Amino acid sequence: MSDQATLESQIEEVINNQIRPYIEADGGQINFIEMKENIVYVELAGACGTCPSAQMTLKGGVEAILKRRFPEVASVELARHNNPYLA
């Protein structure tokens, strides 16, 4: 397993085990999509999909946790259909 794949696996584990329970408690969903050029792309759904505080949750919560745990992470962004990294 490459270093990148190992890092992605560790990030996905933190999202699934430490972040997801809090998101789900508020009726939302979060899924790791991929990491490109030190940017983690996630998908927010459920209540998070229409919540006006979703960006604050993404940056102030998810990004802060991942950057603290993984110094390689530059930012966390929403995966969008127009994201050039997503096929």
Each residue's pLDDT tens digit, 53-79:
888 999 999 999 999 999 999 999 999
Q: Check residues 51 and 84 and name the one with the higher pLDDT.
A: 51
- Does residue 33 contact residue 86 with C-beta atoms inside 8 Å? yes
Global pTM?
A: 0.86
The predicted structure's pLDDT at residue 87: 44
Considering only residues 56 and 2, tell me which one the structure prediction assigns the higher pLDDT: 56
- Classify domain 3-78 by CATH number: 3.30.300.130
Say which residue, 4 or 68, is predicted with more confidence. Answer: 68
Which own/partner contact pairs does 68-73 have at CB distance under 8 Å and 24+ positions apart? 69/14, 70/7, 70/10, 70/11, 70/14, 72/7, 72/38, 73/11, 73/35, 73/38, 73/39, 73/40
The rounded distance, in Å, linking the Cα atoms of 46 and 52 is: 13
The token pair at 56 is 């604050």
Q: Where are the domains of the chain?
A: 3-78
